[in-house]
Structure 1
Amino acid sequence: MGYWFSKIPSKRWAEKFFLLYSPVWMTIFSLIVATETYKLFYDVEFFILGLVVSLPCVLYPLAFPCDADKGKPLRDRYWVKANIWLALFGFVGNYFWTHYFFVLLEATYKFPVTFMLNEVPVFLYFVTHAYFVSYHAATTPILRRWWTAFGGGKSWIKTLGSIVIVFAMAYFTAFMEAWTLEKVPYYSIKNRESMYLIGSTFYMIYFVISFPMFARIDETPNEPRWSLSRTALEALGSAMIVFILCDFWRLIIGGLSASPSLSIPFLGAHGIK
């Protein structure tokens, strides 16, 4: 019989906490957009917003650990590993992959901020963390429900179903994020229809890899728990897979209105300079 939440207490608690916290930061974001309060924001205000939505993912479980985590060193707590994995994956995404959006998808943004890192506002690194925590907290139980429905065995139905579920969740996540960003005027999208349909397909590459890879953290009850070093290496390895696939897209498909020989700022026509 399949089940949704992890059998490992530390992971089960963290997954439920992340899911319960998600509506909180989403409500904060929605109110800021609906009231257009963001029009009053500059460097400090945007940076505080990034901290407000992301830090509770770390501070709450640190201050109020669940019973399963009490007495455990931080390195053994699932929420620590989850945050490390997503922070590293999100950092690579913002620092490198954002430039694919700039060039290939002709989607840019011009926030009234000067606090930037590789042409990306620093506050977005923190906002991305909140987004990714919610995405992965929501999709991991869905994958687990499907995987455990077949017990510990393997079958072509289980494998095919996993592929379909991952691709469906990845595209839905990418499309919904692209669509909701339409309400923020700081984002400039040259061709919105193409961005929603084709751009979402490009963006879903992130999640086709990250959803199943992230779900593997401390997933099997009878196996040793992941170390922090393994967590970091797995996150960076997953990011490298996405990096390769994004660049294959650049070489084979190209941009929405340009040839496949497009050059990304940190890439030459044939690879990294």
Structure 2
Amino acid sequence: MTTQVLDNQAVGNTGRWFSSNPDKAWVEKFFLLYSPVWMASMAVMMFTGWAESFGDAGLLAHAALTALPVLLIPMVLAARYTDVPWQDSYWLKANLYLFVFGFFGNYFGSEYFFDLLGMVYHYPNATTTLDAALVGSGEQTVPLIMYFYTHVYFMTYHATANIALRRLKSSGLPGMVALFPIFVFVVGYIWAWLETKAMANPMMADSFYYRDMARMLAYGSAIYATYFIASFPIYYYLDETRDKRWNLLVVIAAALSASMLTFYLLDFITHWLGTL
């Protein structure tokens, strides 16, 4: 099985899009294929007004059904593509990393967007919430559904960043030490800008908006990009090669490291920009 997968997916040392580790490569391909599915799920929710008509249980069900396939489908399909034990598989480690980092982003990071950029969640039907007790002003709460949605957002952002960064690293361009961090910022900023643009639209104005849109447009994408500046370079190396596989403890430590780096960056920016 392993030899066949390697023969089918082996690539040269230059110009690679996908990892030379087949256990990682097939999962990244699945993440790409699933990305338009979750985007369609969110679009249907916006166009139909489900967010306003569903109760808390309905919203949680939609959020869970959107996010859980990222874990469950690779779990079911894994035996077809790899003989790596499930506890050492990339699909499990990627989901674990994204869960830990996404939890930080909602539990702590959202407070900075509330107080620094004037972000507002307005989901009166989403009564189950979870956010920091001490960080932030406490004027807003984070609906639990956001933890599920963040998982699929971050899945797509990190998978595409891996592919772009790998293509750059394997391109043979000179000056990679300087180019790599610049490219990390560019890819992170693009995704931050795209999500900001997608979320701040009239169709979502009743449930998501910014109290200070001018400030958000001026600084928001760059501030959100701090998440990815901290996380993309760490996540990239998760099982990037077959001979340097991370155990689950290292995966958790890596996600917590990315979280703490983001925490520092957000707080440093707050010193400079100040709260609303």
1:24 aligned to which of 29, 37, 51:
37
1:104 maps onto 2:122 in alignment:
no
Is 1:250 matched with 2:264? no
> Is 1:212 aligned to residue 233 of structure 2?
yes
Q: CA deviation at 1:251?
A: 1.6
Q: Match of 1:22, as an amino acid?
A: S
User: 1:30-179 maps to which residues of 2 (within 5 A)?
Assistant: 30-70=43-83, 72-112=84-124, 113-118=126-131, 119-150=141-172, 157-179=175-197
User: For the residues of structure 1 that align with 2:114 and 2:161, how far apart are their CA atoms?
Assistant: 28
2:16 aligned partner, one-letter code: Y
Structure 2 equivalent of residue 239 of structure 1: 259
Aligned residues: 250
Contact kept in structure 1, 2:51 and 2:123, CA below 8 Å: no
3-state DSSP class of the match of 2:78?
coil
State the Cα distance separating 1:34 from its structure 2 match: 1.8
Counterpart for residue 215 of structure 2 = 194
Measure how far apart 1:187 and its partner are.
1.2
- CA shift, 1:66, in A, is 4.5
CA separation in 1, counterparts of 2:172 and 2:269? 34
Post-superposition shift, 1:179? 1.4
Deviations 1:4-48 (A, max 9, x none): 001111100000000000101111111221222322122011101
- DSSP-derived class of the 2:209 partner: strand
Structure with greater proportional helix content: 2
Contact kept? 1:136, 1:211, Cα under 8 Å: yes
Give 1:161 shift: 1.8
Q: What SS does the aligned partner of 1:64 have?
A: helix
Matched position secondary structure for 2:17: coil
1:186 offset after TM fit, Å?
Answer: 0.8
Mind listing any 5+ residue stretches in structure 1 that lack a counterpart? 259-273
1:228, 1:121 → 2: CA distance?
Answer: 28
1:11 aligns with 2:32: no
1:192-216 alpha-carbon deviations (Å, 9 max, x no partner): 2321331111111001111111111
Q: Per the alignment, do residues 169 and 61 of structure 1 end up closer, same or farther by CA in structure 2, a change over 3 Å counting?
A: same
Instruction: Decide whether the 8 Å contact of 1:179 with 1:196 is kept in 2.
Output: no
Using the aligned pairs only, state the percent identity: 37
Contact 2:32 2:160 in 1 (8 A): yes
Calculate the TM-score normalised by the size of structure 2: 0.86
Deviations 1:117-145 (A, max 9, x none): 12211111011001000111111011001
Q: Could you tell me whether the CA contact under 8 Å between 2:52 and 2:123 is conserved in 1?
A: no
Q: Take 2:236 and 2:263, find their aligned partners in 1: how far apart are those partners?
A: 20
How far is 1:245 from its partner?
A: 1.0
Letter in 2 for 1:194: R
What amino acid does structure 1 have at the position aligned with 2:258? Answer: S
Secondary structure class of the residue paired with 1:65: helix
Aligned residue identity for 2:182 = V
Alpha-carbon distance in structure 2 between the residues aligned to 1:68 and 1:16: 12
Tell me if the contact between 2:158 and 2:232 (Cα under 8 Å) persists in the aligned partners: yes
Gaps of 5+ in 2: 1-13, 132-140
CA RMSD of the aligned region, Å?
Answer: 1.5
Check the 8 A contact 1:181/1:187 in 2, yes or no.
yes
Report what 1:269 is aligned to. none
Deviation at 1:224, TM superposition (A): 2.9
Which one-letter code corresponds to 1:232 in the other structure? I
